Structure 1
Amino acid sequence: MSTEVFDAVVIGAGHNGLVAANLLADAGWSVVVLEQAGKPGGAVRTDEVTEPGFRNDLCSAFFPLTAVSPVIRDLRLEEQGLRWRHAPEVLAHVLPDNRCVVLSRDIERTAASVDEFARGDGAAWRSLFAQWQDIREPLLEALFTPFPPVRPALRLLRHTGTADALRLARMLTLPARRFGEELFDGEGARLLLAGNAAHSDLSVDNAGSAVFGWLLAMTGQDVGFPVPVGGAGELTAALVRRLVARGGEIRCRCPATEVLIANGRAMGVRDGAGDPIRARKAVLADVPATTLYGEMIAADQLPSRLLEDLGRFQWDSATVKVDWALSGPVPWTAEEARGAGTLHLGTDLDGLSAFGGDLVRGRSPHEPFLLFGQMTTSDPDRSPPGTEAAWAYTHVPRGVTEDRTALDRQVERIEKTVEANAPGFRDLIRGRYVQGPLELAGHDPSLVGGAINGGTTAIHQQLFFRPMPGLGRADTPVDRLFLAGSAAHPGGAVHGGPGSNAARAALARAGVLGDGYAAIVRAANRAVYG
């Protein structure tokens, strides 16, 4: 049998792999995507797992960074049938004492909510949002391009001026708790920032956590936390339709087990049946860095210093997620929470600090911080009329919920936390689907040990430290092999940045920059790895 040949082989049909494949197909390349699972999408999938008629998102559910990503915008997925919806309110943080602060796309609604906690915080919130609007475009361009983003950074500097750029840089290094305390007097606005920062694996007291809280809060204020009509899987379906229309091919239940290398250059892959598939121009890997370097490439093909650094790679915290089919809307006692798509539950600001501290020490928090999603409130197509498809997840230390008894204890804590602010919630449960770390990795092997961000978001593993000290780009020490998954800069969440960066690096290596580009990468690799 003759060896199949494509211009590019993409390993993994998660959203980053599909973004990369689409961009290569746009350039006229022949592309095949090899996916281990039975369906494409990775962590962007929807299934009826609780009860027939209830469409539950298996992992990703709300898509604020998708909404502002220039990568996704330029793919024009609406032309492939993708449609978006919003809940009446973006987010509500419900405190244990039942006070509630609301983030709304209506700036006056948000300002009034934070003013209830401290008069004057509404004006401070408007000022913070005005700053976001002023720098939004150059900042997003810098965020979603390879590091260092020289041209976008220069545009941002020209836009802000040196003094404000330095103040912005300082803000991005702050802990989320400190950032909120510098700007606001009341706990409401501080919680909108700190609770959003806790979407990462960082404690609100970690340096650098402010940037995550600020980015998600400002994005929510700006464009909301939209959801695809019909489920997260509709985003995947649109990417698949676009790729197939351009001649790309996706093969499910067809894992790539090995990257084939000759003379330091990626030549293709070997599939699960042992057959080689040739890549004329590039291999792009939407897989964890530990999988690519630790399993798919022989150690003698990699620099010894890279393998040493790989041993220091740090995963983010594990995750426990519960999906429910509910017979009616959640009976929140805080009226403002009823229209929110996303809710934060279980802790005040001190509780967020304690929650993060427990995770750092490897202790399972007794008072969990929950992210809760009301999906039918956001999109009526998710469940039968009068019902609610809902979910919640919380972070736990790695390795503590990998037996059923420990997992059941976490589910009990999650439901107890919801019940505290919504008495009668448990009586509404007609179906439940539980995913601990092992189950999450079972449906998407990239969620190693229940990690959902492709590695910690702490500053020591960001920018040119991601996934290890190196280029901060998609290029690898193997010529024509590119890392396209969330382990690469700019990291996790559904924005397509890693996939886009990998595709553009592959095109640059094969195109107008040619051998000059390869020489630059080789020189950088020598500087890093010797």
Structure 2
Amino acid sequence: MSPVSTADAVVIGGGPNGLVALNALVDAGWDVVLIEANDEVGGAVRSGEVTTPGFVNDLFSAFYPLAAASPIIRDLHLEQHGLVWRRAPHVLAHALDDGYAAVLRDRAEDTAAALDAEAPGDGEAWLELVHGWDQIRDPLLDALFTPFPPVTSAARILRRLGAADTLDFARLAVTPVRRLADERFTGPGPGLLLTGNAMHGDIPPDAAGSGMFGWLLTMLGQDVGFPVPEGGAGELAHALRRRAESKGARLLTGTAVTAVIVEHGRASGVRLADGTMVRARRGVLADVAAPALYRDLLAGHRLPARLLRDIDRFQWDNPTIKVNWALEQPVPWLAEDAHGAGTVHLGVDADGFVDFAADLSVGRTPARPFILFGQMTTSDPTRSPAGTESAWAYTHVPHTIDWSGDHLAAHVERIEDALERVAPGFRDTRLARHVQSPADLEDANANLVGGAVNAGTSGLHQQLVFRPTPGLGRPETPVPGLYLASAAAHPGGGVHGAPGWNAARAAIGAHARLTGGVRRALARTAWARLLPRP
């Protein structure tokens, strides 16, 4: 790249949202350059051999139900660029210390049959939840993945449900997940499955919104499973890169952007760490944390005082500790069905969820952490040699503790203690172990500030029109030509590409309004069907 280069648009950051934005823009015929600080693209969608040779470990995210369900990802046809999805025999299990496991099976009918055998009536109630999902699946996903307000999608939901059922759905959306389980089921299994999925975010199980989060992830699991890319999480990012490059996109890695250039009141490019300027004729899209964009990359630009005040009270989700293992044999679960599950929840029972959430809220080290465990070879046999297992676990921890040294080591032991309770002899299967502290996660990906993997809390006070700050819930910023394209923007975390796609859509629309005639060009792209008609 020459000392001063020019493109139609510059994308800052090569995480999944930046890569989706890149693909959307090149599909529209734009000349685009993506600039990534790390040596490889992917952000929190990367993998590597960090335990021992021959064992592939996903370094951040691992299972991708949102990507599999996302119309944005689906319409990119990444299978034409090398992406292959793999799935475990069972979607998910929640293992308790007494040897019981609730299991989310591949078919809803099989899940329901097992739940009904434990508590008659729970099977029918489970299928009612699944039927509700089937009714509104497509308009709901459209509503989640498009800028706020999703007027068209909301109207489609209302038409499908009718007024009374729409009110019931609205109530579900704000019902705490524990209450949702208590109202609909009598046995322990459904509550464990719903609450465990709700705890993938950082909403306490007794808080409004946790029911919606738990229901959404559980129904996605029942619908598309919890798939993984064959060969490692990084293969998803590589497919996005290959697709963009096949259409002429340019990528510059190993180079950090230090500032967004604003000239004549408009974003006109970026400055790199070596002083190089890359100019953007039409827009700059930032797949970076919201505070980093407004406080760092725009440090020399005057911004509204209210925005800066709101950014300074931006709330991060809880830090994460992640442990990766190479195991010489499959995990010796007490619960037979846990052997076939790609994801296993463990460490707590129904009441333990509440205790764990309380520990995080008050800044106390959880004595019994809630743990998400991934059996990657069970999901994708290419991840390690036959008869072995590539595995990982993560748990959330409070912000107020320095998670290094003895504190970190002690908590890793608590994680393995929890595994020993549900899989006696687990430690004997270890070939190698690799630990990622919250600081390690941030060092590897600057967007994971303090080890927060969701780009900000999922709490209702920082979602929809409140994400990342109170406003319109849209990717536009106070600087014309600059768009927030990261998970800090609506609809938030998860690998679905919506923030990047929404930012690209906004940039394309703004340019169309400025120049005219671009909508005719968009009609020839795969994105046209998702744009509102004039």
**TM range, smaller chain:** over 0.9
Which residue does 1:132 correspond to in 2? Answer: 133
Letter in 2 for 1:390: A
Aligned mates of 1:513, 1:281 — CA distance in 2:
10
Letter in 1 for 2:509: A
Which residue does 1:526 correspond to in 2? Answer: none
- Offset at 1:362? 1.2
Which residue does 1:323 correspond to in 2? Answer: 324
Does 2:480 correspond to 1:479?
A: yes
Does 2:76 correspond to 1:75?
A: yes
Cα contact 1:399–1:449 (8 A) shared by 2 = no
Aligned mates of 1:176, 1:514 — CA distance in 2:
48
Deviates more, 1:117-126 or 1:276-285: 117-126
Cα contact 1:111–1:122 (8 A) shared by 2 = yes
Which residue does 1:523 correspond to in 2? Answer: none
Aligned mates of 1:2, 1:44 — CA distance in 2:
30
1:355-374 to structure 2, matched below 5 A, reads 355-374=356-375
Which residue does 1:447 correspond to in 2? Answer: 448
Which residue does 1:336 correspond to in 2? Answer: 337
Which residue does 1:434 correspond to in 2? Answer: 435
Aligned mates of 2:109, 2:459 — CA distance in 1:
33
- Offset at 1:357? 1.0
Which residue does 1:524 correspond to in 2? Answer: none
Letter in 1 for 2:198: A
- Offset at 1:115? 2.1
* Secondary structure class of the residue paired with 1:494: coil
Which residue does 1:269 correspond to in 2? Answer: 270
Which residue does 1:188 correspond to in 2? Answer: 189
Aligned mates of 1:238, 1:384 — CA distance in 2:
24
- Offset at 1:404? 1.6
Which residue does 2:240 correspond to in 1? Answer: 239
Aligned mates of 1:294, 1:467 — CA distance in 2:
13
CA deviation vs aligned residue, 1:15-42 (integer Å, no higher than 9, x gap): 0000000000001101111111111101
Aligned mates of 1:218, 1:153 — CA distance in 2:
19
TM-score by length of 2: 0.95
- Offset at 1:249? 1.0
Letter in 2 for 1:280: R
Go from structure 1 to structure 2 and tell me whether the alpha carbon gap of 1:308 and 1:514 turns closer, same or farther (over 3 Å shift). farther
CA deviation vs aligned residue, 1:402-434 (integer Å, no higher than 9, x gap): 322111111000011001111111011111110
* Secondary structure class of the residue paired with 1:238: helix
- Offset at 1:112? 2.2
Aligned mates of 2:114, 2:449 — CA distance in 1:
39
Aligned mates of 2:300, 2:182 — CA distance in 1:
48
Letter in 1 for 2:54: G
Letter in 1 for 2:388: T
Aligned mates of 2:170, 2:12 — CA distance in 1:
36
Any gaps of 5 or more consecutive residues in structure 2?
A: 519-534
Letter in 1 for 2:492: G
Which residue does 1:121 correspond to in 2? Answer: 122
Does 2:91 correspond to 1:90?
A: yes
Aligned mates of 1:465, 1:116 — CA distance in 2:
43
Cα contact 1:508–1:514 (8 A) shared by 2 = no
Aligned mates of 1:96, 1:267 — CA distance in 2:
58
- Offset at 1:444? 0.8
Letter in 1 for 2:484: L
Letter in 1 for 2:111: T
Go from structure 1 to structure 2 and tell me whether the alpha carbon gap of 1:80 and 1:252 turns closer, same or farther (over 3 Å shift). same
Aligned mates of 1:349, 1:370 — CA distance in 2:
13
* Secondary structure class of the residue paired with 2:248: coil
Letter in 1 for 2:433: R
CA deviation vs aligned residue, 1:233-263 (integer Å, no higher than 9, x gap): 1100100000100110111111110000023
Letter in 2 for 1:244: E
Aligned mates of 1:514, 1:92 — CA distance in 2:
54
Aligned mates of 2:13, 2:223 — CA distance in 1:
32
Cα contact 2:3–2:277 (8 A) shared by 1 = no
Aligned mates of 2:10, 2:163 — CA distance in 1:
43
Which residue does 2:411 correspond to in 1? Answer: 410
Which residue does 1:150 correspond to in 2? Answer: 151
Cα contact 1:264–1:301 (8 A) shared by 2 = no
Cα contact 1:9–1:283 (8 A) shared by 2 = yes
TM-score by length of 1: 0.96
Which residue does 1:221 correspond to in 2? Answer: 222
Letter in 2 for 1:242: R
CA deviation vs aligned residue, 1:484-512 (integer Å, no higher than 9, x gap): 00000000010001001000000001014
Aligned mates of 1:69, 1:106 — CA distance in 2:
20
Aligned mates of 1:307, 1:367 — CA distance in 2:
38
Go from structure 1 to structure 2 and tell me whether the alpha carbon gap of 1:511 and 1:352 turns closer, same or farther (over 3 Å shift). same
Aligned mates of 2:463, 2:265 — CA distance in 1:
27
Which residue does 1:211 correspond to in 2? Answer: 212
Which residue does 2:497 correspond to in 1? Answer: 496
- Offset at 1:158? 1.5
- Offset at 1:116? 3.8
Which residue does 1:5 correspond to in 2? Answer: 6
CA deviation vs aligned residue, 1:414-470 (integer Å, no higher than 9, x gap): 011001111111011111110010001111110000000000000000000000101
- Offset at 1:399? 4.2
Deviates more, 1:391-400 or 1:109-118: 109-118
Go from structure 1 to structure 2 and tell me whether the alpha carbon gap of 1:165 and 1:50 turns closer, same or farther (over 3 Å shift). same
Aligned mates of 1:254, 1:399 — CA distance in 2:
32
Does 2:2 correspond to 1:36?
A: no
* Secondary structure class of the residue paired with 1:212: helix
Cα contact 1:121–1:184 (8 A) shared by 2 = yes
- Offset at 1:2? 5.7
Cα contact 2:404–2:437 (8 A) shared by 1 = no
Deviates more, 1:454-463 or 1:440-449: 440-449
Identity %: 57
Any gaps of 5 or more consecutive residues in structure 1?
A: 518-530
Aligned mates of 2:118, 2:451 — CA distance in 1:
36
Aligned mates of 1:371, 1:421 — CA distance in 2:
13
Aligned mates of 1:293, 1:116 — CA distance in 2:
54
Which residue does 1:293 correspond to in 2? Answer: 294
Which residue does 1:62 correspond to in 2? Answer: 63
* Secondary structure class of the residue paired with 1:343: strand
Letter in 2 for 1:395: H
Aligned mates of 1:299, 1:126 — CA distance in 2:
56
CA deviation vs aligned residue, 1:139-182 (integer Å, no higher than 9, x gap): 11111000111111111111211221111111101111111111
Aligned mates of 1:78, 1:301 — CA distance in 2:
44
Letter in 2 for 1:422: A
Cα contact 1:331–1:424 (8 A) shared by 2 = yes
- Offset at 1:229? 0.6
Does 2:436 correspond to 1:425?
A: no
CA deviation vs aligned residue, 1:66-92 (integer Å, no higher than 9, x gap): 110011011110111111111010000
* Secondary structure class of the residue paired with 1:488: coil
Question: How many residues are treated as equivalent by the alignment?
Answer: 516
